[in-house]
Amino acid sequence: MSEELKLRILNKLESENSIADTKTVFVDVSPETILGALKSLESQEKVNYKTLTTEFWTIEAEGQDQIDNGSYEARIFYAVPAGEEGITIAELNSKYGKVANLGQGKAFQNKWVKKNGSSIVRLVDSIVDQIKADLEVVQATGTHPNTNVIRDLKRRSLIKQNKVLSYSVSKGANFSTELKKQATDLTVEMLHSGAWKNAEFKKFNFDSLGVNPSGGHLHPLMKVREEFRQIFFDTGFEEMPTNEFVVSSFWNFDALFVPQQHAARDLQDTFFLKEPAVATELPEFWETVKDVHEKGGYGSIGYRYPWSQEEAKKLVLRTHTTAVSSQMLHKLAQEPYRPAKYFSIDRVYRNEAVDATHLAEFHQVEGIIADKNMSLGSLIAFMDRFFQKMGITKLRFKPAYNPYTEPSLEIFSWHEGLNTWVEIGNSGMFRPEMLRPLGLEEGVQVAGFGLSLERPTMIKYGVDNIRALVGHKVDLGMVESNPACRLDKKMGKEVFQSAVETAN
């Protein structure tokens, strides 16, 4: 079909050298179809074309009514009987309604009729309905030689202006009447057969917008993670290696001075491994940990129960990233003393009832600071500064309990929208019962805090079901289209003011 039209255009050019206006030559073809054919021919340099715009007038419904039934003023003239009596204005109005309203004035103006008391009588015997005649000219030709007529008909909303696009066409640099299929690629077959020598190649279209390049996209959770990492790096933290998801209960609990009877160590709360179920050995300082649990030390009387190696060897999916912090602090203690700031953001596992906002796994954001002469004030001051970087200025702390920190503080922030204080995290000063067995010397204190990554992400990106964020139901379109995360911008404040519960 379009090949046929292209040939028609080429043949017309061959015989007449140019086409002044496609509209008059290809009356049966729509302007869009013509343009498609011309663009294709132009890309092969067979033709050049220019766009022509033609304005023309068409008849509106009211105009058509006047062509069919006469102009309103003519209809009024014919409604007035010849003779002295004429017709009463009241009768004319009741019989002709709208037409009487609109046509009377013009009929008076044209001196076709006049008022005689309460009646209207004819002034002339016959009339010429010029409006109807003018409308018929416009209908037949699309315009009218008298521009005043056009203006008048348009003012009376009897005609409407329209535009058509058409094209003037001339021969291009490669003009011929032959249409060869153009090759889009140089193929192996063409090279083998030698067909490339005679092939005509399609030109590159440098105006084409092309396909959007697809690239890597960070998941929203990872965008928020990235933003957190930057805040940590900006404040001088080093990242902890968190690539071991399976740890011994020793690192997850015992080294953190969590007693072996603690509820968190129940099957209901923690995932224990079946195979292998236990670690082959415990770190060499295990006896120090056993002692502090059983008898205490460093000012503590301990828990006073028989500590079991077997219990400590049980392998678990780490329930918090503090299981990594404990190992990092032990490592730090092996070197000559230096202050240190560590953070991690990674996955942890809890054997929890799964619902719209809870999964059995989530990400924890954790920071720890080891230094001398630190106090609770240092921790509070640090958290003030840290959360300020995310746009959170109003913080409050509430005493809490963690087996591994004393004092422990739940972190609350003021939520402007909800008009209330909401919990955003958990923190504290690590106990000497935990730090000394790890090998940290007396006088070194460690402050720590933790929050979840999911809650702020869900709020930041307006996700109310965790399954839309994590798991097989995640929409990749959502991943690709979400903007980068800036916690201090726009929603940052809300995000963290309604953020984060970190359970013990």
**Where along the sequence are the contacts to ligand PHE (CB under 6 A)?**
320, 322, 366, 402, 405, 426-428, 448-450, 502-504
Residue tagged 């021919």 (tokens): 41
Of 258 and 485, nearer to ligand PHE (C-beta) is 258
CA separation for the pair 415, 500 (Å, rounded): 12
Q: Which residue is nearest to ligand PHE (CB)?
A: 450
Give the contacts of 292 (CB within 8 A, at least 6 positions apart).
Answer: 257, 298, 300, 302, 433, 436, 437
* Tokens of residue 381, six digits: 């001051």
Q: Minimum distance from CB of 407 to ligand PHE (Å)?
A: 11
Q: Minimum distance from CB of 404 to ligand PHE (Å)?
A: 7
Q: Minimum distance from CB of 211 to ligand PHE (Å)?
A: 46
* Parallel, antiparallel or unpaired: strands 340-349 and 238-239: parallel
Look at the alpha carbons of 11, 17, 19, 24 in this order and tell me if their dihedral is positive or negative: negative
Q: Minimum distance from CB of 302 to ligand PHE (Å)?
A: 21
Q: Minimum distance from CB of 503 to ligand PHE (Å)?
A: 6
Of 71 and 344, nearer to ligand PHE (C-beta) is 344
CA separation for the pair 160, 366 (Å, rounded): 71
Rounded to 5°, the CA angle 27-31-36 comes to 120
Residue among 415, 399, 227, 253 nearest 327 (CA): 253
Name the residue type at position 351.
Answer: N
Of 166 and 452, nearer to ligand PHE (C-beta) is 452
Contact yes or no for 86/122 (Cβ under 8 A): yes
Name the residue type at position 458.
Answer: M
Distances (CA, A) of 252 to 61, 197, 326: 84, 73, 8
Contact yes or no for 427/408 (Cβ under 8 A): yes
Element (H, E) at 73: helix 72-79
Of 248 and 502, nearer to ligand PHE (C-beta) is 502
CB-CB neighbours of 269 under 10 Å: 15
User: What is the DSSP-derived secondary structure letter of residue 197?
Assistant: G
CA separation for the pair 150, 197 (Å, rounded): 60
CA separation for the pair 399, 202 (Å, rounded): 75
Burial (CB < 10 A; 0-12, 13-18, 19+), residue 17, is: exposed
Q: Minimum distance from CB of 347 to ligand PHE (Å)?
A: 13
Of 44 and 427, nearer to ligand PHE (C-beta) is 427
CB-CB neighbours of 406 under 10 Å: 17
Of 333 and 447, nearer to ligand PHE (C-beta) is 447
Of 10 and 447, nearer to ligand PHE (C-beta) is 447
Q: Minimum distance from CB of 429 to ligand PHE (Å)?
A: 9
Q: Minimum distance from CB of 475 to ligand PHE (Å)?
A: 30
Q: Minimum distance from CB of 221 to ligand PHE (Å)?
A: 18
Q: Minimum distance from CB of 328 to ligand PHE (Å)?
A: 12
Paired residues of 449 in beta bridges: 367, 427
Q: Minimum distance from CB of 412 to ligand PHE (Å)?
A: 15
* Parallel, antiparallel or unpaired: strands 315-317 and 246-248: antiparallel
Q: Minimum distance from CB of 504 to ligand PHE (Å)?
A: 6
* Tokens of residue 291, six digits: 């002692």
User: What is the DSSP-derived secondary structure letter of residue 314?
Assistant: B
CA separation for the pair 460, 221 (Å, rounded): 10
